[in-house]
Amino acid sequence: MILKIFRHRELYLMLLPAVVLVFIFWYVPILGWIIAFVNYKPGISLSSAEWVGFQQFKSFFTQSSDYIYLLRNTLAINIGTLISNLFTAFVFAILLNEIRLRFFGRFIQTVTFFPFFISWVIIYSLSNALFAPSSGAINEMLVEWGILNEGINLLGDPQYSWGLMIALNAWKHLGYNSVIFIASIVSIPSDYYEAAEIDGANRFQKIWHITIPALIPTLIVLLILNSGWILNSNFEQFYLFTNGTNWEKIEVLDMYIYKYGLKLLNFPYATAVGIMKTFISLALIIVVNEISKRATGKAVF
Amino acid sequence: MKERSVGGTIFDSFNYLFMLVILVLMLIPFVYIISYSLSTPSMMKGGLILFPKGFTLDSYKKAFDDPAVLSGVFISVARTIIGPAAMLLFTSMAAYVLTRAELIGVKFFRKFFVFTLYFSSGMIPMYLLMGYLNLTGTFLVYILPAVISVFNMVLIKTYIEALPRELEEAAVMDGANHFLLFFKIIFPLCMPVFAAVVLFDSVNQWNSFIDTQIYNTMSPNLYTLQYVLYNTLNQINSLEQLKVQGQTEIGALTPQTFKMAITVITVLPIACVYPFLQRYFIKGLLVGSIKG
């Protein structure tokens, strides 16, 4: 065996950088979880910190009621995003398939796919340009036409936060999410449609009885698999759109961890919240993977 | 030509109308900022515009005279070139090794990598680690954590496994070692998958914003273009605030066109590589869905 390992030394050498880097940047920080269990403060050494056990974990639920609004915001926005993303892509793919002009359909697909590749900072900039209360183009236009007396503060008013986050996500991901549905539609055998035509089915009947049923399994698989990630938010998005006036409806777990860790420098508490989030997420992923395996025979692992 | 019913025609009309609405929703934001960035500030009266008013390139000249913007472009370009190059070299080497079923421990190494796709330590331990390694406030903080992309590793591994084995057997007969075998035989064959992963990695590097915010806020010389844009937006928003409160006359400063210009400059590289991105991405997604 040693001989065999020696014979493959070049292969191990080629693997070495990857192993070292993954170890340092993924496994070593997991050791850093220990600070969630000690009374660690910046400036003192870890070894002299006092062991406090699960105190930080408990205080998330007992010290304040923050967890109520955090879980509410995180779940509302992420579940809303998941459903709206899939639903819009589903409908869009079906309607796009009915476009007879080939080049027009392709053009639409090209345009809708583009926002997937732009950064959240750009989307933040675009949102500012269009929706800012006093200088945003849409508000200026509506005020000028006399439809509104003063601009709607979409970016700052908490009552719009959930809707805005969900809508921006749908806008960014419409093209991307629809690709997989379009591929499923293309793979429907054309004799199904031909047989339906012979039976005298019109277009609505073909959509209703052939296209939609053929897409439902894809929809269910995507819904199940993606629901494992509902505690994880895109941090860049929430960092950019959370502000002093809308935070009560937009602050999510990841933002809270950032605030307590890097702004208030309470590392043990922020790490403890992060650990709980990681474990609940992992459990969710395993559960939905199992459900998906049983229900549809498709699974990630 | 198929016969068309009245219902079908009405449906078609509504469908085309619907698609036009989608087009408008997707394109208007971009058309608006491009037009705004090319307009003369004093001619802007507010509201949505679709064409520049008083065409001028002044705001772009101003942007490229700004040392912060220039430095941002430099840092963003640097990380967009160095990051994907390093990623490709080390990730593809590891992917190749993982395809060698005869290697002792290869199953362990596969699990070792794939585990990281589902489990991460979180922001705070990562932040402390970067501080501990003295990477905070350095350019390397953009590069090192991204050298190994396990997701890309899986893609490349799958691609190599699909290559015909006869090609390498000939090379092994000639006594080539694994370095030579990989770089001379396998590497050139993998160009299609390499092009795809490098393209997406470049887009990710170009678009990254939050790593600057977390690790490098104290080092303005390391601000990426995305971060410079973010700072500009915030400064202008606070000026706006003062204007609303009647504390300052913003007319002279009028950086609205300036922020639009920086936004356009930040999107432009993505728009330029977009045709390639779309082609590779749709192909990649379809391959993934067939396998799934």
CA B99/CA B158 separation, integer angstroms:
8
Considering the domain architecture, whether residues B76 and B45 belong to the same structural domain is answered as no
On whether any CB of chain A is under 8 Å from the CB of B245, the answer is: no
Considering the domain architecture, whether residues B172 and B49 belong to the same structural domain is answered as no
Considering the domain architecture, whether residues B13 and B137 belong to the same structural domain is answered as no
Considering the domain architecture, whether residues B148 and B31 belong to the same structural domain is answered as no
Considering the domain architecture, whether residues B62 and B113 belong to the same structural domain is answered as yes
Taking only the tens place, the pLDDT of each residue in B48-97 is 888 998 899 999 999 999 999 999 999 999 999 999 999 999 999 999 99
The 3-class secondary structure across B93-128, one letter per residue, is HHHHHHCCCCCCCHHHHHHHHHHHHHCCCCHHHHHH
Considering the domain architecture, whether residues B68 and B3 belong to the same structural domain is answered as no
Query: Which residues constitute the domain of residue B34?
Result: 1-55
Sign of CA pseudo-dihedral B231, B235, B240, B242: positive
Taking only the tens place, the pLDDT of each residue in A119-143 is 999 999 999 999 988 788 999 889 8
On whether any CB of chain A is under 8 Å from the CB of B103, the answer is: yes
Could you say which of B26, B213, B274 has the minimum Cβ distance to residue A112?
Answer: B26
Taking only the tens place, the pLDDT of each residue in B168-183 is 777 777 767 888 889 9
Report the SS3 class of residue A38: strand
CATH code for the domain of B105: 1.10.3720.10
CATH superfamily entry for domain A66-296: MetI-like (1.10.3720.10)
Verify whether the Cβ–Cβ distance B263 to A98 is below 8 Å.
no
Indicate the domain borders of chain A.
Answer: 66-296
- How many CA within 13 A on the CB side of residue A155? 23
Residue of B nearest to A266 (CA): B124
Task: Give residue B264's pLDDT.
Answer: 96
Verify whether the Cβ–Cβ distance A117 to B274 is below 8 Å.
yes
- Candidates A37, A118, A147, A229: best to mutate against B (most CBs of B within 10 A) is A118
CA A31/CA B177 separation, integer angstroms:
38
* CA distance, residue A112 to nearest chain B CA (Å): 6
Taking only the tens place, the pLDDT of each residue in A149-195 is 888 899 999 999 999 999 999 999 999 999 889 989 988 998 999 99
B24: CB partners within 8 A, 6+ apart:
none
Could you say which of B25, B230, B260 has the minimum Cβ distance to residue A121?
Answer: B230
A59: CB partners within 8 A, 6+ apart:
A269
In chain B, which among 33-92 make CB contacts under 8 A with chain A? 33, 36, 46-49, 90-91
Considering the domain architecture, whether residues B62 and B145 belong to the same structural domain is answered as yes
Taking only the tens place, the pLDDT of each residue in A204-254 is 899 999 999 999 988 988 888 788 888 988 999 999 999 989 999 999 999
Q: Does residue B48 contact residue B28 with C-beta atoms inside 8 Å?
A: yes
Report the SS3 class of residue B250: coil
CA B121/CA A234 separation, integer angstroms:
16
Considering the domain architecture, whether residues B63 and B51 belong to the same structural domain is answered as no
B102: CB partners within 8 A, 6+ apart:
A8
Considering the domain architecture, whether residues B187 and B112 belong to the same structural domain is answered as yes
Residue of A nearest to B264 (CA): A122
What's the total number of domains in chain B?
Answer: 2
Q: Does residue A159 contact residue A248 with C-beta atoms inside 8 Å?
A: no
Considering the domain architecture, whether residues B16 and B27 belong to the same structural domain is answered as yes
Taking only the tens place, the pLDDT of each residue in B215-227 is 999 999 999 999 9
Residue of B nearest to A112 (CA): B26
Strands (E), chain B: none
Could you say which of A15, A29, A33 has the minimum Cβ distance to residue B94?
Answer: A15
Banded model confidence at residue B167, pLDDT cuts 50, 70, 90: confident
Report the SS3 class of residue A51: strand
Q: Report whether pLDDT(B286) > 60.
A: no
Banded model confidence at residue A300, pLDDT cuts 50, 70, 90: low
Considering the domain architecture, whether residues B118 and B205 belong to the same structural domain is answered as yes
Considering the domain architecture, whether residues B65 and B126 belong to the same structural domain is answered as yes
On whether any CB of chain A is under 8 Å from the CB of B14, the answer is: no
Q: Does residue A257 contact residue A204 with C-beta atoms inside 8 Å?
A: no
Task: Give residue A298's pLDDT.
Answer: 67
Q: Does residue B280 contact residue A131 with C-beta atoms inside 8 Å?
A: no
